[in-house]
Amino acid sequence: MDAIVAEDLRKHYKDIQALDGVSFSVRDGEVFGLLGPNGAGKSTAVRTLTTLTRPDSGRAIVAGEDVIRHPNRVRRSIGYVAQDSGVDWEATGRENLLLQGRIHGMAGAPLRARVDELLELVGLREAADRIARNYSGGMKRRLDIAIGLVHRPRVLFLDEPTTGLDPEARVALWDEVERLAQQESLTILLTTHYLEEADRLAERVAIMSRGKIVVEGTPGELKANLRGELVTVELGDANGRIEDAAEIVRSIAGATEVGVDGRLVRTRVPNGAQAIPTILSALDSRGFQVESVTTARPSLDDVYLHYTGRDFATEDAAGKG
């Protein structure tokens, strides 16, 4: 059974097509990642699925309910952890959880037991009665997740849950998400622009770019579909001859998927270490100065580049503006 079904979702804001025919499904009990750079449409997709934004067209079913026809039923079945925290910073961790439970109609001993259970689950038991403002960044995000779980939702939406955390706190939160998925028997939809986060947490990912799903599958499958290794050559001043450099690289045996980006020439080859001397020699013989050269095995960044023709990091930075 699918816990989430999105069919041809479209959403337009003024001159921006935030969702442009988005379709995907998430199986019951699965951790699914919506991966893409800033501005790709991930958060708009989540806000649509959580009934916070009405799509211009298309259909979405969450926990067996239509998000447009029965939004209140959907809300009772989901937890939502937004990018912006919903924590009351002047209340304690325990008070935040009790308040959220009461909002969902919980009370008495069952609510107190659930709060104690969640504080233990997310590692906040010892900090439960401290003012939330004094929590570390990682503790605040764990409290956010606990708030989303008070009413025992079937589906949990995590929208960029580790944005702003330092690397150590990010890895710690990944561990928490993995434990929660197992112990709470949750379906989790995770949005992220961290490639390693999707690779680590998601059983399947859908990669978004400019309001569309460009490819979907397990991280392993997507990387395995890219044969060979990526070689990236950074040229010095190419004097407008970057396309000539690309043609030289194209002529080398085994070179495929040759592309240019500024002063970079990229290609995929069966063996990077063997191909690099040949590439450098060919470029040098034609008067090109090489600043640097790197090789790497397939990553989700390469998957994004392959299907969109654009560099993930560059597009992510542009989307922040």
| pLDDT given at position 143 | 95
Measured CA to CA, the distance from residue 53 to residue 305 in angstroms comes to 30
Question: What is the average per-residue pLDDT within 137-163?
Answer: 93
pLDDT in tens, 90-133: 999 999 999 999 999 999 999 999 999 999 988 999 999 999 99
pLDDT in tens, 274-299: 999 999 999 999 999 999 999 988 88
Let me know if domain 2-219 sits in CATH 2.40.40.20: no
Kindly report the three-state secondary structure assignment for every residue of the chain: CEEEEEEEEEEEECCEEEEEEEEEEEECCCEEEEECCCCCCHHHHHHHHCCCCCCCEEEEEECCEECCCCHHHHHHHEEEECCCCCCCCCCEHHHHHHHHHHHCCCCHHHHHHHHHHHHHHCCCCCCCCCEHHHCCHHHHHHHHHHHHHCCCCCEEEEECCCCCCCHHHHHHHHHHHHHHHHHCCCEEEEEECCHHHHHHHCCEEEEEECCEEEEEECHHHHHHCCCCEEEEEEECCCCCCHHHHHHHHHCCCCCEEEEEECCEEEEEECCHHHHHHHHHHHHHHCCCCEEEEEEECCCHHHHHHHHHCCCHHHHHHHHCC
Which tokens sit at 86? 């919903």
* Every domain of the chain and the residues it spans: 2-219, 227-297
| pLDDT given at position 317 | 80
Residue type, 181: A
The answer to whether the predicted template modeling score (pTM) of the entire model surpasses 0.85 is no
Q: What whole-number percentage of the chain has pLDDT above 70?
A: 99
- Do 2-219 and 227-297 agree at the fold level? no
| pLDDT given at position 183 | 82
Determine how many CB atoms are found less than 10 A away from the CB of residue 15: 5
pLDDT in tens, 195-227: 889 999 999 999 999 999 999 999 989 988 887
CATH number at 227-297: 3.30.70.980
